[in-house]
Amino acid sequence: MSDYSEDSKKKQVPLRLAPKLYDAVAAWAQDDFRSVNGQIEYLLTECVRQRKKDGKPVSKTMDVPPDLNIK
């Protein structure tokens, strides 16, 4: 299956982000010449790829809110 046909079947997911986190992701996306949505998808894909590579379970601290002391 080509990437194009996979893209046309993407699921839409509502997402709420803290303003500081959104701003940080948006700045990162701009640096990488991606949309915010594209950056979030890229980051999630990399996390899933890394988890599959390591075979390690998700961290027990996954649900702990991140420190968003972003400058």
Domain ranges of the chain: 17-53
d(Cα 27, Cα 10) in Å, to the nearest integer?
24
User: Residues 27-60: pLDDT tens digits?
Assistant: 999 999 999 999 999 999 988 888 777 776 666 6
pLDDT at residue 67 tops 80 = no
pTM over 0.75? The answer is no
CA distance linking residue 42 with residue 69, whole number of Å: 23
Neighbours of 17 (CB within 10 A): 14
Q: What's the pLDDT band for 1 if we cut at 50, 70, 90?
A: very low
